Each structure stands twice: as structure tokens, then as C-alpha cells.
Structure 1
Amino acid sequence: MGFEYFRNRQHAGRVLAQELAIYAVRPDVIVLALPRGGMPVAYEVAQALQAPLDVLVVRKLGVPGLEEYAMGAIASGGEQVLDAELVRELGIGARAVDEVVSNEQRELERRERTYRGDRPAPDLAGRIVILVDDGLATGATMRVAVRAVRRQEAARVVVAAPVASPEACALLHGEADDVVCAEIPDSFLGVGRWYLDFSQTSDEEVCRLLEEASRPATRSTKKTRSTPSRTRAS
């Protein structure tokens, strides 16, 4: 049977959680969302796995004038990835690159303050970290997220998304310890293509879900059964 579209990010998160059942009810697991779109997905995953939820802010470095086209990414903690070959091919000067990095760094810091406030970042050393986004197109932002978590000495880094391109999965397979995707369509055509509702996630929703996840009563008391992964790159 072919892939039936996700109704919304919440539905996608519940589907993805089934693929991650082997990580359920473990004290060393933490789920990190890539906000904003990854948060509703990650919330459902964290609830199902009975794991704590936090955020890792990542910003794409868009090509000047073609901002949706990534030439790299930055993440919390100072991690940066830049596609030097692409920058050379497009003739993007160092000053232009620096300007993009500076602008995105300011937005990253704004989001950090908005989502975290005075709350300290979680200690990832020795933990299994599940990085969740709502989809993986090029894999550029998730790649820098993986590297940022590696710098914090995580024991295992798991990339998870409801839908991903084959190219993104191949790229991240070389970066993460495990790559779990519910669907990997051959004809990808963008993340939003696979959602019936792909409306924008707000800062307010990110903050609300973080607050809800911090309440012990919101954690599910039912254990997630381990089920075979239907579509998995690992």
C-alpha cells in the first residue's frame, strides 16, 4: 500500500514514535526538537517514549537572494556547517556569507531566549539523544544538529523524522548512529508535500508544548510496544 499523507504534525509524531519504540522507557533517552516545525512531532514522540523533551535551535544559512536554498546551517553551541564548494560555485563572497551567518545567529539567540528563558540547556553527556524534525529535505540543518550534539559527548545520536528524501537519509547515515524515518518516498518534492496540514508552528506553540512536557502528569503511563520499523535507514 502506498504512503497515505500525514494529517498534521501531531499525527506524524505518533506514527514516528512507533518506529522508535526500542527507545521507550529508558532513563538515558532525551528527545530534542528542531523548532519550530519539529516541536509538535517531537512532543508526540517524547510522550510515547516517556522521555524528557527539549529543543536544539538550528538555523539554515540561505543563499543570498535564494534564501530557501541552503548553503549551510548553524546550531546552538556554536556549531556551523558550510558548503564551501557550493559557495565557490555560486561566487558568494566572504562578506556576504558573514552577513548571513550574523543575521541567523541573532535569530538563533532570540529563539533560544524565547524557548528556554533562564532554564539551562540539558546535559547530553552519556545520553541517547533523539533529534526530531518534521521532515528532512537536504539534511543540512539536521547535519549540524548532529554535530552539535556530538560535541556534547552524547553516547548515541538518533535522527528521526516522519518523512525524508533518500539523499538526506544517505547523508545523515554517515553522521548519526541511527536514522529512523517513517517514510522515504522516491519522489520527495519537499516536506510539506506529505502533510495535509502543514501550517506554520508558532513560537507560542513551541513554548506551550515545552511547558506541557515538563509536567510529569503529561507523560503517558503506557509502555510503548516494540514494533518492527517499516522504513528505516540505520
Structure 2
Amino acid sequence: MFLDRSHAGKLLAEELKLLQGPDTIVVAIPRGGLPVGAEIATALKAPLEIILSKKIGHPANKEYAIGAVSLSGLVLELQAAEIPKSYIEEETKRIRKVLQDRQEMYYHNQTPKPLTNKTVIVADDGIATGNTMLSTLELISRESPKKVVLAIPVAPESAIKKLKKSPYIHQIVCLKIPGLFNAVGAYYHHFDQVSDRQAIEILEAHRNR
């Protein structure tokens, strides 16, 4: 069990010490991944950025991801071929508006650091199925990083197997791979939702160090 996300991040940082260097960037998945990523970035003396992407849910089940959208990219799973193009276009437009608002909220007038030729550590607070993460990692790969390392406190074995097959990940660091997986929050003593305000405070505090 992890005490909270910060505790999980500190434990992950111990496993990632050898990746410390001038070309390393930590990219957190907002919002829950920010406390995790902040601890890793602090320990490795690395910049902390976020990846602004959001899944496209299936029209019959919004929780089931058929792809992911970023401000500049779109990744679709094979099953999306069965979905009307009009639905995907409308969802992409709607999601990009949400992401644009979030980028302005998180970055103000600052520009995210480029990931080209960098060692990118992608941090989140846990993974359930891995589908959305796969799409997110494909979006990251389009920026041509040198190496992509996925750092997560907990994920089921099925998700890890799926992620290991991805051509977009060079290394996975996962602290707990339970045989019988419950929800991600079941492996934390404290797993309160991270608000936008808290996420922004974490980013700004790290930038001011």
C-alpha cells in the first residue's frame, strides 16, 4: 500500500535514479499523475511537464476508450473504424476545446518544453487497462523522444503485458503488479481527487525551484 501519490512518487524516484541527466524530462498525466511526477522530477532534478491528452469514449460506453486526442494529434484504435466519422470529428473538436482551456490554465503564457531527443519519463498514479495510456504514448512518440520510460506505482499484469508490446515504450517501471487487481485507489491509503488548482500549484512550485 502507498500512503498517497507523493509517497508512491518517492518510491518510483528511487528506481529511476540512473536516468538522472540533462536530457531527462518528467511528463505527468494530469491530474493524478502530477504529485507522482513532481516527486520524480525533484529527485532527478528534471523539468516537470504535463501531457494534455484525453480519451475518446465509445458512443455506447464513454468509459471505453477508442482513441485519444491531443491539441495537435489524434490516435484511434482499430475498433474506431466501426464508429461514425461525424461522432469522432465532433468529439475531437469538443475535447480539443477542453484541452485548450486546460493548457491556458496550467501554462498561462509559458510554452511546454519540447520532447525531441529527450529521455521522457511518463508518470501516472496507476493504470487499470492501459488502453488510454497506449494512445497517449503514441502521441508522445510523435515528438521523437530519444527514450520513453513509463513510471507507475501499480497496474494489473494484463495491462503490463499489453504495454510491453507497445513500440512506443522502451522501459516500464511499475512497483506493484497484483495478481488480483482492484481499482487503482485500492492501493493507496489516501487517494483524494487532485483538483486543477492543486495541479497548477504543483507545477508552479516545481518551476520556481
Question: If the length of structure 2 is used for normalisation, what is the TM-score?
Answer: 0.91
Q: Which runs of 5+ in 2 are unaligned?
A: none
Count of matched residue pairs: 207
Give 3-state SS (helix, strand or coil) of 1:138's partner.
coil
Shift of 1:184: 1.2
- Pairing partner for 2:169 from 156, 176, 184: 176
CA distance in 1, matches of 2:68, 2:183: 18
Listed one character per residue, the Cα deviations across residues 165-214 of structure 1 (whole Å, up to 9, x for unaligned) are 22222222223011111111122222222222221111111111111111
Matched-pair contact (CA < 8 Å) for 1:58–1:144: no
Matched-pair contact (CA < 8 Å) for 2:75–2:139: no
CA distance in 1, matches of 2:91, 2:108: 25
* Counterparts of residues 65-214 of structure 1 (less than 5 Å): 65-76=60-71, 78-85=72-79, 88=82, 92-173=83-164, 174=166, 175-214=168-207
Which residue in 2 is equivalent to 1:47?
Answer: 42
For 1:110, the aligned partner's letter is: D
- RMSD over equivalenced CA pairs, Å: 1.7
CA distance in 1, matches of 2:24, 2:171: 14
- Pairing partner for 1:23 from 19, 22, 31: 19
Q: Which runs of 5+ in 1 are unaligned?
A: 217-234
CA distance in 2, matches of 1:65, 1:8: 34
For 1:69, the aligned partner's letter is: Y
Listed one character per residue, the Cα deviations across residues 99-131 of structure 1 (whole Å, up to 9, x for unaligned) are 322222221111111111111120222110101
Matched-pair contact (CA < 8 Å) for 1:58–1:141: no
Shift of 1:75: 2.6
4+ residue segments displaced more than 4 Å:
none
CA distance in 2, matches of 1:115, 1:44: 18
Identity percentage of aligned residues:
37
Listed one character per residue, the Cα deviations across residues 113-169 of structure 1 (whole Å, up to 9, x for unaligned) are 111111112022211010111111122232223222222121111111111122222
